[in-house]
């Protein structure tokens, strides 16, 4: 018998004894006391017996012994239970303290990670914001190259931020060309794996779905696993990615395009990636507003010209 089985055997045995002995001892003591009370001899024996030789004495003796045994076992069981409970409480207190310490360490690590993430976002977006500010200093007709540089910088920033925890992501920024026939949404800034993404053209299921999404101007959801569920118009052309999220680039004055983030591993994009994509789309809405909208003040304008507003398809 192994040591573990031996301990288990004695523990089970003691459990039976600690329950049975008090009950049986108390019952036996009660019975013996009753017999002792009824044990009155009809005739005193000759010669008379000493007190300790009488049946009453021995019945009372064994009854008292049974009662003491029952009480002793019961008290011992309570003491052992109390000690065991005390040890358990101590163990629980120690484990609780360890867990609390672990939780504090985890909270500190999460807070530090969030701070690091904020610093990274700041470092990545400051150059983009600076480029947008530089672009605004030039006349509208000269802002095109700056806008393209801004979109490329924004796509690179998004890809770098996500690649910290997502394997081989790709960030793409699309711009709507309302003058094309048919209307199209073309990639003008991208960073990550693979070749340049294909444009979306109106008149095709894929193009109509993407362009309609952009003009709805509502944040997109993460498509977690394209092998099990696909959006409307998805024709399987993007065989190298299995998850993506897209955000429209729009303002109150128009819709300009879309930001898309994808990855080859299903379920690899999280809520934080959704928020980063949305943030980049909001930043890009400012860039497109400055780069394309004639209502944006140029370097020689005192005030925006309210009569010159750039309209895009659907507005």
Q: What is the pLDDT of residues 81-129, one digit of tens each?
A: 666 666 666 676 677 777 676 666 656 555 555 546 556 666 677 777 7
What's the confidence (pLDDT) of residue 129? 77
Strands 170-177, 254-263: pairing kind: antiparallel
Q: Are the C-beta atoms of 253 and 232 separated by less than 8 Å? A: no
Percent of the chain with pLDDT over 70: 58
Q: Which burial class, exposed, middle or buried, applies to 46 when counting CB atoms under 10 A from its CB (0-12, 13-18, 19+)?
A: exposed
| C-alpha–C-alpha distance, residues 248 and 278, integer Å | 8
In whole numbers, what is the pLDDT of the chain averaged over residues? 75
- pLDDT, one tens digit per residue, over 4-23 is 667 666 666 656 666 666 66
Residues with Cβ within 8 Å of residue 287, at least 6 apart in sequence = 128, 131, 132, 135, 147, 150, 151, 154
| C-alpha–C-alpha distance, residues 281 and 212, integer Å | 16
Residue 233 tokens read as 């118009």
CA angle 241–242–245, rounded 5-degree value: 90
Sorting pLDDT into bands at 50, 70 and 90, what band is 309? very low
Determine which helix (DSSP H) or strand (DSSP E) holds 127, and give its type and residue range. Answer: helix 55-135
Average pLDDT value for residue range 277-288: 91
- pLDDT, one tens digit per residue, over 178-211 is 888 899 999 999 999 887 888 999 999 989 999 9
Q: How far lies 245's CA from each of 156, 224, 268, in Å? A: 16, 8, 11
Cis-peptide, bond into residue 311, ω within 30° of zero: no
Strands 200-201, 243-251: pairing kind: unpaired
Cis-peptide, bond into residue 29, ω within 30° of zero: no
Strand partners, 204: none
Whole-structure pTM value: 0.58
Sorting pLDDT into bands at 50, 70 and 90, what band is 68? confident
Sign of CA pseudo-dihedral 7, 9, 15, 17: negative
Q: Are the C-beta atoms of 247 and 214 separated by less than 8 Å? A: no
Predicted confidence (pLDDT) at residue 302 exceeds the cutoff of 50? no
| C-alpha–C-alpha distance, residues 297 and 138, integer Å | 9
CA atoms within 13 A on the CB side of 304: 13
Q: Looking at per-residue confidence, does 134 or 25 come out higher? A: 134
């Amino acid at each position: 018998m192994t040591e573990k089985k031996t301990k288990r055997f004695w523990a089970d045995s003691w459990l039976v004894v600690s329950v049975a002995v008090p009950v049986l001892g108390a019952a036996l003591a009660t019975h013996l006391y009753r017999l002792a009370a009824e044990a009155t001899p009809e005739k005193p024996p000759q010669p008379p017996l000493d007190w300790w030789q009488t049946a009453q004495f021995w019945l009372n003796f064994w009854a008292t012994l049974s009662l003491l045994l029952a009480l002793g076992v019961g008290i011992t069981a309570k003491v052992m239970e109390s000690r065991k409970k005390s040890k358990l409480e101590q163990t629980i207190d120690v484990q609780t303290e360890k867990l609390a310490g672990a939780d504090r360490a985890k909270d500190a690590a999460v807070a530090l990670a969030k701070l690091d993430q904020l610093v990274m976002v700041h470092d990545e977006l400051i150059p983009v914001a600076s480029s947008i500010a530089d672009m605004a200093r030039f006349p509208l007709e000269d802002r095109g190259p700056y806008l393209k540089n801004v979109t490329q910088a924004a796509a690179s920033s998004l890809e770098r931020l996500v690649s910290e925890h997502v394997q081989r992501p790709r960030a793409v920024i699309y711009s709507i060309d309302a003058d094309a026939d048919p209307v199209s949404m073309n990639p003008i800034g991208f960073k990550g794996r693979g070749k340049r993404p294909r444009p979306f053209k109106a008149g095709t299921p894929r193009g109509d779905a993407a362009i309609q999404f952009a003009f709805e101007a509502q944040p997109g959801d993460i498509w977690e696993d394209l092998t099990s569920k696909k959006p409307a118009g998805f024709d399987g052309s993007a065989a190298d990615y299995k998850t993506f999220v897209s955000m429209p680039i729009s303002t109150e004055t128009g819709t300009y395009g879309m930001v898309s983030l994808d990855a080859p591993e299903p379920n690899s994009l999280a809520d934080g990636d959704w928020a980063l994509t949305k943030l980049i789309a909001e930043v890009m809405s400012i860039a497109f507003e400055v780069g394309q909208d004639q209502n944006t003040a140029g370097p020689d304008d005192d005030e925006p010209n309210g009569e010159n507003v750039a309209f895009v398809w659907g507005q």
